[in-house]
Amino acid sequence: MLAVLSPGQGSQKPGFLAPWLDLDGVEARLRWWSALAGVDLIHLGTRADADEIKDTARTQPLLVAAALLAAEHLPMHDVALVAGHSVGELGAAALAGVLPAEAAVTLAGVRGHEMAAACALEPTGMAAVLGGDPDEVLAALQSHGLHPANRNGAGQIVAAGAIDGLDKLAAEPPARTRIIRLQVAGAFHTPYMAPAEAALAAVAAGVTASAPARILLSNLDGAPVGHGPETLQRLVRQVTAPVRWDLCMRTLADLEVTGVIELPPAGTLAGLVKRELKGEGAPEIVTLNTPADLPAARRLIARHAGPARPYTPWFRMVVSPAAGRLARAAEATVGAEVRAGQVLGHVTGAQGPVEVTAHDNGLLTEWLAHHDDPVAPGQPLVRIGGTH
């Protein structure tokens, strides 16, 4: 099975789109998409320096446009699976047939602009935590008021939040870890981006989403999504939700993916896949950066094209056992693995606290009620997902 991956912010390089403008129709397409995104994609992809394309408002539509342009030159009808990292999910959704390319570029423009605006509201940032015990790292983040914004695979969790919290993390790192401060504008994929999520939701409400024509993995939990409107809802919510690329790669392994193509600007996701899916059965990888790489990508598709192995997601809903206020357990976070019988929280009412427990093993996919919300008996509280 073949997977095509669309990279996210941080993968861009000055001038990386320049070779693509030699292909027929590319310049005209970029001018049209520039009008939709509200930025000059030709300038950004060819002449802009590293500082200019580091700007979130410019980078996000540029990355989505680059992935879509390159994919137009591949036989995508032979591709079984697509996935994207962070803003790359918009490109992947378009390649899956959920969104028109124009809608993906427009939403990327809105997303980038609004996330940049949210970053300016208060000083926040991000830092990569390399190594250490994952549970100890997550506990340290929580103790400093930080969020695990990205989980990119074994030994790499990206912390995000207030600058003083990041300073405390650097001063008191968890055992056997190395902290690397990231040069980003703010705390992406955390509640600090709530204004951006609301703005994106307002625009996305006018977009018609179709069911995916191929397997499309979600950053929320690594599972395939099969419903167009739910996919669009997840794309919006991902602005404040952690990116679980580790779970996406687990699904690639579960599906026995044999070939991977990373769209331009390629290299980051290919590196993560190489580190995570190694040994016997490791997928063959092509990084598609310039038109000169297209023949190798097409040959890879010819070797690995084939029907997708059945992979059916299931979901179980956990409902409130009583009337009262919900208190969510600290470890019951979105993307966490839960087991049958695990206590996910409590509902406290007139008769005291009543446990909210999981009925199946799986991944905690979504909380449907906030901490301290008043809830009614039978009200859906949390969704647990898995596959078979």
Phi and psi for 372 in degrees, rounded to 5? 75, 10
Give dist(CA 228, CA 213) in Å, integer: 10
Look over the chain and give the mean of its residue pLDDT values, rounded to a whole number. 92
Locus of tokens 């001018």: 31
Which pLDDT score, from 0 to 100, does residue 40 have? 97
Determine whether 359 is an active site residue. no
* Domain match, 174 and 298 both: no
Instruction: List the catalytic residue out of 85, 113, 144, 189.
Output: 189
Query: What average pLDDT does range 146-172 have in this prediction?
Result: 93
* Domain match, 166 and 109 both: no
Q: Are 169 and 179 in contact (CB under 8 A)?
A: yes
* Domain match, 291 and 216 both: yes
pLDDT band of residue 232 (cuts 50, 70, 90) is very high
Given 272, 304, 336, which residue is the final one in a domain? Answer: 304
Instruction: List the catalytic residue out of 6, 11, 86, 218.
Output: 86
In this structure, the strands spanning 2-6 and 81-84 are: parallel
pLDDT band of residue 378 (cuts 50, 70, 90) is confident
Structural domain boundaries, residue 196: 2-118+191-304
Which pLDDT score, from 0 to 100, does residue 314 have? 66
Q: Per DSSP, what are the bridge partners of residue 129?
A: 157, 179
Q: Per DSSP, what are the bridge partners of residue 107?
A: none
* Domain match, 144 and 174 both: yes
Which pLDDT score, from 0 to 100, does residue 83 have? 97
* Domain match, 142 and 228 both: no
pLDDT band of residue 363 (cuts 50, 70, 90) is confident
Q: Are 133 and 250 in contact (CB under 8 A)?
A: no
Give dist(CA 130, CA 245) in Å, integer: 15
* Domain match, 87 and 212 both: yes
CA distances from 90 to 61, 72, 173 (A): 10, 15, 34
Reference 365, options 188, 272, 230, 194; nearest CA is 230
Which pLDDT score, from 0 to 100, does residue 73 have? 96
* Domain match, 290 and 317 both: no
Which pLDDT score, from 0 to 100, does residue 110 have? 98
Domain with residue 161: its CATH number is 3.30.70.250
Q: Per DSSP, what are the bridge partners of residue 318?
A: 382
Count: domains in the chain: 3
* Domain match, 165 and 130 both: yes
Could you give the dihedral angle defined by the CA atoms of residues 174, 178, 184 and 185, in that order, rounded to the nearest 10 degrees? 30
Q: Is 191 helix (H, G, I), strand (E, B) or coil?
A: helix
**pLDDT tens profile 57-92:** 999 999 999 999 999 999 998 999 999 999 999 999
Domain with residue 79: its CATH number is 3.40.366.10
In this structure, the strands spanning 2-6 and 147-153 are: unpaired
Query: What average pLDDT does range 115-122 have in this prediction?
Result: 95
Which pLDDT score, from 0 to 100, does residue 388 have? 52
Helix (H) or strand (E) holding 162: strand 156-162
**pLDDT tens profile 264-275:** 999 999 999 999
pTM of the model: 0.81
Residue 246 pLDDT greater than 90, yes or no: yes
Given 258, 279, 304, which residue is the final one in a domain? Answer: 304
> What HEC string does 296-356 produce?
HHHHHHHHHCCCCCCCCEEEEEEECCCCEEEEECCCCCCCCEECCCCEEEEEEECCEEEEE
Could you give the residue ranges of the DSSP H alpha helices within 73-192?
88-95, 101-119, 134-143, 163-171
Which pLDDT score, from 0 to 100, does residue 380 have? 84
**pLDDT tens profile 184-215:** 889 999 999 999 999 999 999 999 999 898 99
Determine whether 11 is an active site residue. no
* Domain match, 200 and 217 both: yes
Which pLDDT score, from 0 to 100, does residue 196 have? 97
Reference 307, options 212, 215, 226, 210; nearest CA is 215
Which pLDDT score, from 0 to 100, does residue 312 have? 56
Residue 305 pLDDT greater than 70, yes or no: yes
Given 248, 278, 304, which residue is the final one in a domain? Answer: 304
Q: Is 293 helix (H, G, I), strand (E, B) or coil?
A: helix
* Domain match, 283 and 381 both: no
Query: What average pLDDT does range 256-260 have in this prediction?
Result: 94
**pLDDT tens profile 313-340:** 667 788 898 899 999 999 998 878 899 8
Which pLDDT score, from 0 to 100, does residue 94 have? 97
* Domain match, 158 and 258 both: no
* Domain match, 201 and 299 both: yes
